[in-house]
Amino acid sequence: MHRYKIGYRYEYKVVKYLRKLGYDAWRTPGSHSPIDVIAIHPVAKRILLIQIKSTSRNNFSLNSLPREEKARLLEMAQRYKDYPEVSVELWIFLRKQRHRKVIDIKKELLSNM
Protein backbone atom coordinates (compact mmCIF):
# COMPACT_ATOMS: atom_id res chain seq x y z
CA MET A 1 0.00 0.00 0.00
CA HIS A 2 1.23 3.50 -0.82
CA ARG A 3 2.59 5.49 2.17
CA TYR A 4 0.08 8.31 1.63
CA LYS A 5 -2.82 5.86 1.83
CA ILE A 6 -1.40 4.28 4.98
CA GLY A 7 -1.03 7.73 6.56
CA TYR A 8 -4.53 8.73 5.51
CA ARG A 9 -5.95 5.53 6.99
CA TYR A 10 -4.35 6.16 10.39
CA GLU A 11 -5.29 9.84 10.40
CA TYR A 12 -8.90 8.93 9.62
CA LYS A 13 -8.83 6.27 12.34
CA VAL A 14 -7.60 8.83 14.91
CA VAL A 15 -10.24 11.40 13.90
CA LYS A 16 -12.98 8.77 14.22
CA TYR A 17 -11.63 7.63 17.63
CA LEU A 18 -11.43 11.19 18.99
CA ARG A 19 -14.93 12.02 17.77
CA LYS A 20 -16.23 9.04 19.75
CA LEU A 21 -14.56 10.59 22.81
CA GLY A 22 -16.48 13.85 22.27
CA TYR A 23 -13.82 15.84 20.42
CA ASP A 24 -14.40 17.92 17.32
CA ALA A 25 -11.59 16.51 15.21
CA TRP A 26 -10.33 16.89 11.67
CA ARG A 27 -7.35 16.09 9.48
CA THR A 28 -5.12 18.81 8.08
CA PRO A 29 -4.15 17.33 4.70
CA GLY A 30 -1.93 19.43 2.51
CA SER A 31 -1.28 21.96 5.26
CA HIS A 32 2.48 21.39 5.22
CA SER A 33 2.40 21.79 8.98
CA PRO A 34 3.80 19.31 11.49
CA ILE A 35 0.25 18.60 12.64
CA ASP A 36 -1.85 15.87 10.99
CA VAL A 37 -4.92 16.02 13.25
CA ILE A 38 -6.43 18.82 15.32
CA ALA A 39 -8.98 17.96 18.00
CA ILE A 40 -10.91 20.22 20.37
CA HIS A 41 -12.99 18.96 23.28
CA PRO A 42 -15.66 21.61 23.98
CA VAL A 43 -16.52 20.33 27.47
CA ALA A 44 -13.05 19.46 28.77
CA LYS A 45 -11.66 22.57 27.04
CA ARG A 46 -8.73 20.56 25.71
CA ILE A 47 -6.94 20.94 22.38
CA LEU A 48 -4.83 18.19 20.82
CA LEU A 49 -2.33 18.88 18.05
CA ILE A 50 -1.23 15.48 16.77
CA GLN A 51 1.47 14.24 14.42
CA ILE A 52 0.77 10.65 13.34
CA LYS A 53 3.34 8.10 12.28
CA SER A 54 2.87 4.49 11.28
CA THR A 55 5.86 2.17 11.37
CA SER A 56 6.94 -1.43 11.61
CA ARG A 57 9.95 -0.40 13.75
CA ASN A 58 9.44 -1.19 17.45
CA ASN A 59 11.92 1.43 18.65
CA PHE A 60 10.47 4.44 16.79
CA SER A 61 10.51 7.60 18.93
CA LEU A 62 10.60 11.38 18.68
CA ASN A 63 14.30 11.11 17.86
CA SER A 64 13.48 8.88 14.88
CA LEU A 65 11.81 11.77 13.06
CA PRO A 66 13.73 13.69 10.41
CA ARG A 67 15.57 16.62 12.02
CA GLU A 68 13.42 19.32 10.42
CA GLU A 69 10.13 17.60 11.32
CA LYS A 70 11.27 17.09 14.92
CA ALA A 71 12.38 20.73 15.12
CA ARG A 72 8.99 21.95 13.87
CA LEU A 73 7.13 19.84 16.45
CA LEU A 74 9.41 21.03 19.26
CA GLU A 75 8.90 24.63 18.09
CA MET A 76 5.14 24.15 18.24
CA ALA A 77 5.40 22.59 21.71
CA GLN A 78 7.52 25.54 22.81
CA ARG A 79 4.94 27.99 21.45
CA TYR A 80 2.16 26.38 23.54
CA LYS A 81 4.14 25.38 26.65
CA ASP A 82 2.32 27.92 28.84
CA TYR A 83 -1.12 26.69 27.73
CA PRO A 84 -2.00 23.60 29.81
CA GLU A 85 -5.12 22.94 27.74
CA VAL A 86 -3.05 22.47 24.54
CA SER A 87 -1.20 19.21 23.97
CA VAL A 88 1.30 18.63 21.18
CA GLU A 89 1.56 14.88 20.70
CA LEU A 90 3.22 12.29 18.50
CA TRP A 91 1.06 9.19 18.00
CA ILE A 92 3.07 6.24 16.74
CA PHE A 93 1.20 3.24 15.39
CA LEU A 94 3.35 0.13 15.62
CA ARG A 95 1.86 -1.95 12.82
CA LYS A 96 3.43 -5.30 13.70
CA GLN A 97 2.21 -5.12 17.29
CA ARG A 98 -1.11 -3.40 16.49
CA HIS A 99 -0.26 -0.97 19.25
CA ARG A 100 -0.28 2.83 19.61
CA LYS A 101 2.34 4.78 21.52
CA VAL A 102 1.63 8.42 22.45
CA ILE A 103 4.44 10.85 23.18
CA ASP A 104 3.56 14.17 24.80
CA ILE A 105 6.06 16.45 23.09
CA LYS A 106 5.52 19.31 25.54
CA LYS A 107 6.50 17.03 28.44
CA GLU A 108 9.55 15.85 26.48
CA LEU A 109 10.51 19.46 25.79
CA LEU A 110 10.08 20.56 29.40
CA SER A 111 11.96 17.54 30.79
CA ASN A 112 14.96 18.42 28.59
CA MET A 113 15.07 22.06 29.73
Residue 30: its pLDDT value, please? 72
Domains, the chain, ordered by start? 3-111 (3.40.1350.10)
pLDDT of 9 over the 90 cut: no
Angle at 32 between CA 79 and CA 78, to 5 degrees: 10
First vs last Cα of the chain: how many Å apart? Answer: 40
Of the listed ranges 10-14, 62-66, 79-83, 94-98, the one predicted with least confidence: 94-98
Higher-scoring residue by pLDDT: 90, 108: 90
> pLDDT by residue (tens digit) across 28-60?
987 678 899 999 999 999 999 999 998 888 888
pLDDT of 68 over the 70 cut: yes
Confidence of residue 80 (pLDDT cuts 50, 70, 90): very high
SS3 sequence of 6-70: HHHHHHHHHHHHHHHCCCEEEECCCCCCCCCEEEEECCCCEEEEEEEEEECCCCCCHHHCCHHHH
Higher-scoring residue by pLDDT: 68, 30: 68
Residue 6: its pLDDT value, please? 66
pLDDT of 7 over the 80 cut: no
